[in-house]
Amino acid sequence: MQYSQDDENFPLTRFESMLKTNNILFFDSNEFENIIHHYLENGKIPLSKRAIKLGLEQHPTSINLRLFQVEILVIENKFKEADDLLDRLHNIEPTNEEIFIQKANVLSKQDKHQQAIDTLLIAIELSHTPEDDADLYALVGMEYLFLDKFENAIIYFKKCLESDTSDYSALHNIVYCYDFLNQHSEAIDYLNLYLNTNPYCEVAWHQLGRQYFTIKDYAKANTALDFAIISDDTFIGAYIEKGKVLEKLEKYEEAIDNYKISLALDDPTSFALLRIGQCYAKLEQEDLAIQFFKKTIHEDALLDKGWIAITKFYMKRLNYQKALYYINKAVIIDSENVKYWKLYAAVNKRLNFLEEAERGYKRTLDLGNYELDTWLNRSDVLTTLGEYEAAIFNLLQASEFYPESAEVEFRLAGLYFTVHQSEEGRFHLKNATRLNIDYNFIISELFPQLTDKPLIKAIISEAKKTSN
Angstrom distance (rounded) from CA 424 to CA 407: 16
Among the listed residues 144, 145, 137, 129, the one whose alpha carbon sits nearest the alpha carbon of residue 161: 137
Flag whether 447 is in a domain: yes
Q: How many CA atoms lie within 13 A of 339 on its CB side?
A: 12
Q: What is the pLDDT of residue 11?
A: 76
CA atoms within 13 A on the CB side of 291: 8
Residues 373, 346 contacting (CB under 8 angstroms): no
In a domain, 377, yes or no: yes
391 occurs within a structural domain: yes
Range of the domain at 450: 370-467
Predicted local confidence at residue 43, as pLDDT: 82
Nearest to 100 by CA among 145, 80, 70: 70
- Tell me whether residue 440 is in a domain: yes
How confident is the model at residue 10, as a pLDDT? Answer: 67
For 69-104, what is each residue's pLDDT tens digit?
Answer: 778 888 877 888 888 888 888 888 888 888 898 899
**If we measure between CA atoms, which residue out of 236, 244, 242, 304 comes closest to residue 270?**
304
Number of helices followed by number of strands (H, E) in the chain: 27, 0
Q: Does the residue 330 lie in any domain?
A: no
Least confident of 37-41, 128-132, 151-155, 413-417: 128-132
Local structure of residue 227 (DSSP, 8 states): H
372-409 per-position pLDDT tens digit: 999 999 999 999 999 999 999 999 999 999 999 999 99
Q: What would the mean pLDDT of 204-211 be, rounded to a whole number?
A: 97
Task: Give the residue among 172, 169, 230, 241 at the shortest CA–CA distance from 202.
Answer: 230
Averaged over 417-429, what is the pLDDT?
94
pLDDT at position 468 is: 66
On whether the CB atoms of residues 197 and 220 are closer than 8 A, the answer is no
> Residue 9: inside a domain, yes or no?
no
- Spell out the residues 6+ positions from residue 87 whose beta carbon is closer than 8 angstroms to its own: none
Read off the amino acid at residue 52.
Answer: I
Count of structural domains within the chain: 1
Q: To 5 degrees, how large is the angle CA 381–CA 406–CA 375? A: 30
Angle, CA 96 vertex, CA 94 and CA 99 arms, to 5°: 95
What percent of the chain clears pLDDT 70, i.e. is strictly above it? 97
pLDDT digits 0-9 by tens, 213-222: 999 999 999 9
For residue 435, how many other CB atoms are within 10 A of its CB?
17
The rounded distance, in Å, linking the Cα atoms of 387 and 383 is 6
Torsion, CA 394, CA 395, CA 396, CA 397, rounded to 10 = 60
Residue in 371, 467, 367, 380 with CA at minimum distance from that of residue 415: 380
- Confidence band for 331, pLDDT divided at 50, 70 and 90: very high
User: Is residue 330 a contact partner of residue 304, using CB atoms and an 8 Å limit?
Assistant: yes
Cβ atoms within 10 Å of 467's Cβ, excluding its own: 11
Listed residue (300, 249, 294) closest to 276, CA to CA: 294
Mean pLDDT of 164-181: 94
Phi, psi of 300 (to 5 degrees): -145, 95
Mean pLDDT of 222-230: 97
Average pLDDT over residues 274-287: 96
Does 444 fall in a domain? yes
Rounded CA-CA distance 131/128 in Å is 9
* CATH code (residue 431): 1.25.40.10
By CB neighbour count within 10 A (0-12 exposed, 13-18 middle, 19+ buried), where does 140 fall? Answer: buried
Cβ-proximal residues to 412 (8 Å cutoff; 6+ apart), any chain: 392, 395, 396, 399, 424, 428, 432
**Does residue 125 belong to any structural domain of this protein?**
no
